[in-house]
Amino acid sequence: MNRLASSLFIASSLFLVQSCSQPPTYEDTSAQTEHTNEHTKGHGDDHAASDNSSEHDHGSHNHGTTENSATTQAKLTAPAEIKPNEPAALVIDIQDLDGKVVDDFEIFQEKIMHLIVVSDDLQFYDHIHPEYQENGSFEVEATFPQPGNYTLFSDYKPSGQNEQVSVLQAEVSGNSPTTPEVELNRTKTFDDTEVELTLSQPTLKAGEEVTVIFNIKDKASNQAVKDLQPYLGELGHLVIVKNSSSLTRADYIHAHALKDTSDGQVHFVTSFPESGKYKAWGQFNRNGKIVTADFWLDVQ
Ligand SMILES: [Cu+2]
């Protein structure tokens, strides 16, 4: 009970700090209100079930759709004040919809939890991996580069259940910078890597399946890269977030790379639930160095 008391204390102090601007932001906004009494808990093989579970999911794999309703919720405990560029210790507690601790998870894509951190203007992206402690509690240090609001998509798989995406929010103190314009460039350079994005359709339409192709070249040689290695068990990962005033689970899409494509090409199949502007971040592993290639997409 000690731990509960301290986290309640921190949560309530966070509420005080943030209550002037908006509703308490430490609550997971993705959990649905319907309560499930049947909380099936898988039984322990100590997360040994790593890659098998994701093996069937390759290809199109949208979490952004409403295919499964939430069976869990996440609570974020953050420092009362988060400052730009100072590592902040975050604690994420996973509970069922009745508030009971969920403490049995499966590893998927090589990790027990994937945490995608974006600034609400979608300029900043980070993909980090909280460490499991005990009693449903995960810890990670995150650094937020600029003042403003951030959304954290916490992706995990309670044993025997569907993968869950819980949405958390954090606020970084200071004056938010003005939002840069949305650019729709299709070729961009990321350090020594040049990436061209091509799409199977000339116009992206809501609800239509599309293949998103990253053509990855070495900048110096201008040749397709031949040094791509698996990243978290796959040729690449693609996260897409819809530009919205307040981000929810429905704004989050995570697609996995198709297999067996030619050198320097990584294909993803996905679809967009609604029209609007989206930001896409493809992540690839060039011989141990992770390249994050981001592009804006305009969906009609
Ligand atoms: Cu991850």
Per-domain boundaries in the chain: 2-33+48-172, 187-299
Residue 242 in this model has a pLDDT that exceeds 50: yes
Residue 126 in this model has a pLDDT that exceeds 90: yes
pTM above 0.85, yes or no: no
pLDDT at 19: 31
If you measure from the C-alpha of residue 26 to the centroid of ligand 1, how many angstroms do you get, rounded to a whole number? 21
Residue 153 in this model has a pLDDT that exceeds 60: yes
Question: Whose CA is closest to 171, among 279, 6, 22?
Answer: 22
Question: Whose CA is closest to 133, among 85, 173, 101?
Answer: 101
> What average pLDDT does the structure give for the chain?
82
Ion ligand 1: residues, CB within 5 A, are: 114
CATH architecture, domain 2-33+48-172: Sandwich (2.60)
Is the distance from CB of 271 to CB of 218 less than 8 angstroms? Answer: no
pLDDT at 47: 34
Is the distance from CB of 150 to CB of 143 less than 8 angstroms? Answer: no
**Of the ranges 64-78, 184-198, 214-228, 239-253, which one carries the lowest mean pLDDT score?**
64-78
For residue 8, the surrounding DSSP H or E stretch is: helix 2-18
The strand pairing partners of 295, in sequence order, are 280
If you measure from the C-alpha of residue 114 to the centroid of ligand 1, how many angstroms do you get, rounded to a whole number? 4
Determine the average pLDDT of the residues in 145-149. Answer: 95
* CA gyration radius, the chain: 19
Q: Does this chain's domain 2-33+48-172 share its CATH topology with 187-299?
A: yes
pLDDT at 65: 40
Give dist(CA 117, CA 40) in Å, integer: 29
If you measure from the C-alpha of residue 157 to the centroid of ligand 1, how many angstroms do you get, rounded to a whole number? 12
Based on the number of CB atoms within 10 Å of its own CB, is 86 exposed (0-12), middle (13-18) or buried (19 or more)? exposed
Confidence band of 14 (pLDDT split at 50, 70, 90): very low
If you measure from the C-alpha of residue 71 to the centroid of ligand 1, how many angstroms do you get, rounded to a whole number? 21
Determine the average pLDDT of the residues in 30-39. Answer: 37
Confidence band of 22 (pLDDT split at 50, 70, 90): very low
Give dist(CA 95, CA 48) in Å, integer: 22
If you measure from the C-alpha of residue 203 to the centroid of ligand 1, how many angstroms do you get, rounded to a whole number? 30
Count each helix (H run) and each strand (E run) in the chain, helices first.
Answer: 2, 19
If you measure from the C-alpha of residue 19 to the centroid of ligand 1, how many angstroms do you get, rounded to a whole number? 31
If you measure from the C-alpha of residue 112 to the centroid of ligand 1, how many angstroms do you get, rounded to a whole number? 9
CB neighbours (10 Å) of residue 5? 9
pLDDT at 171: 96
If you measure from the C-alpha of residue 1 to the centroid of ligand 1, how many angstroms do you get, rounded to a whole number? 31
In tens, the pLDDT along 54-113 reads 333 333 444 434 445 899 999 999 999 999 999 999 999 999 999 999 999 999 999 999
pLDDT at 68: 58
Determine the average pLDDT of the residues in 129-146. Answer: 97
Give dist(CA 1, CA 7) in Å, integer: 10
If you measure from the C-alpha of residue 202 to the centroid of ligand 1, how many angstroms do you get, rounded to a whole number? 30
pLDDT at 4: 41
Question: Whose CA is closest to 168, among 72, 239, 256?
Answer: 72
If you measure from the C-alpha of residue 20 to the centroid of ligand 1, how many angstroms do you get, rounded to a whole number? 33
Domain 187-299 is classified in which CATH homologous superfamily? Macroglobulin (MG2) domain (2.60.40.1930)
If you measure from the C-alpha of residue 187 to the centroid of ligand 1, how many angstroms do you get, rounded to a whole number? 25
pLDDT at 61: 42
